[in-house]
Amino acid sequence: MIIFNLVIFAIFLIALFKIFQRTKKLGWTVFIGLFLGLISGALLQNFYDKSIIDGTLEWTNVVGNGYVRLLQMIVMPLVFISILSAITRLHQANSLGKVSFSVLSILLITTAIAAAIGILMAYLFNLSAEGLVAGERELAAQLSVSGRAEAVSGLTIPSLLVSFIPRNPFADLTGANPTSIISTVIFSVFLGVAALSLAKENKELGSRIAQGVDTLNQWVMRLVRFIIRLTPYGVFALMTKMAATSAWADIVNLGSFIIASYLAILLMFIVHGILLFVVKVNPFDYYKKVLPVLSFAFSSRSSAATLPLNIEAQTDKLGNNSVIANFSATFGATIGQNGCAGIYPAMLAVMVAPTVGIDPFSANYIFSLILIVAISSFGIAGVGGGATFASIVVLSALGLPLELVGLLISIEPLIDMGRTALNVNGAMVAGTLSDRFLNRSYQ
């Protein structure tokens, strides 16, 4: 039966290839792949036992996980060379401060808004930690949470900021640390500023450096486009796995939390649309252009893996300046994640607070929670599981027990898909708003 399933899987891949060849519309092909993946995964779960499902997914994961790894392969080269290339085309180095301040401010403000929405949803749905059952998976998750809590028990904001500074840029280029993306950005900025300084002293030398960097940038971007064209097949395989392995009983049992989470995510998407409308960007046109990026973020559950798509959408479809696009995409993968570091930790903190005698809806608690959520959103890794880390940091800072983080592990992947799409959208919105606010005066 496994061979039969793989033949059907291959037929779907060929069909997606033919659809793209005929339409030349990558976005539509991605959505067709997402829809086919949901159907394929649901059929696998309903008609086969676990051994057949596992055997089938072991092979289909070659496509899904292989695509994610290809994207991860190009993240660091893309971040490094594209930011370096963008800076070498600037005329003033001090304009980088304006770009960084604008992007970071928008990310942190929207994260604070997301936290407030999470608190509101917890209140409206009367969410509570009472009655949650700890099964085998949940108990194992609690042990994992305890281990991660020990790792961040001594974490402070100053020490986190210091960790962003690259100690060994070559190690960070390999993605060795959770903050490698930010460290690579910082290293690229320093190199770019040095290139601008050299150009002032020796125009010929500066021109040669800029030309060499631009050549490397075009080379890497061509590689990025090759890999992005594989998106429909990667999304199809990833959604097949998600639909085939979701525990539907757990989803039903925790239905209120799932619905509240997705309503909060939807509201935050609406907030993003309102912010875009304020700067005279049509929200409907915007979402139409970025839907393929959001669909991949949804299925891959990785803001970092979505970086190439994020940057390309901002520069090619939204018309954002490449400097702002790169800064917003890379910062947004690790700082100010609206879903993972905003909505989710806030909802958990509201649910846990009553167990230790705290009124979660008092003004002081709400203000403290929103402030801590915004500050602790620095350095959340842009991969699946980042929300767990953010929740641990927030709950630890508030002195709350961490058991709830493990109790929700069964539905974590399902909610994480929506959160990741929101994270990526927050980064693109931050780039678009910054591009309009600065009015390209930094060029």
CA–CA gap between residue 258 and residue 414 (Å, rounded): 8
Q: Can you give the C-alpha Rg of the chain in angstroms?
A: 22
- 382-409 core/surface letters (b: 16 or more CB in 10 A; e: else): bbbbbbbbbbbbbbbbbebebbbbbbbb
The pLDDT tens digits of the residues spanning 380-408 come to 554 445 666 677 777 777 777 766 665 56
C-alpha 142/C-alpha 138 separation (Å) is 6
**What is the rounded average pLDDT for all residues in the chain?**
81
Geometric angle at alpha carbon 59, from 58 and 62, rounded to 5°: 100
Residue 308 confidence (pLDDT) above 50: yes
Would you place residue 41 in the very low, low, confident or very high pLDDT band (cuts 50, 70, 90)? confident
Q: How far is CA 41 from CA 57, 63, 263, in A?
A: 9, 15, 25
CB 213 within 8 A of CB 84: yes
Over 70: is that where the pLDDT of 370 sits?
yes
CATH 1.10.10 fits 1-440, yes or no: no
250-258 CB contacts, 8 Å cutoff, 24+ apart: 250/410, 250/411, 251/411, 251/414, 253/133, 254/132, 254/408, 254/410, 254/411, 256/125, 256/127, 257/125, 257/127, 257/347, 257/408, 257/411, 257/415, 258/411, 258/414, 258/415
pLDDT at 105: 92
Give the model confidence (pLDDT) of 75-103 as tens digits: 788 778 877 877 787 655 567 778 888 99
pTM assigned to the model: 0.75
> E-assigned strands of 83-229?
none
**185-219 per-position pLDDT tens digit:** 788 888 888 888 888 888 888 888 888 988 888 88
- Residues of the chain with pLDDT > 90, as a percent, come to 19
How many whole angstroms separate alpha carbon 40 and alpha carbon 43?
5
- Res 443: pLDDT: 47
CA atoms of 45 and 43, how far apart (whole Å): 5
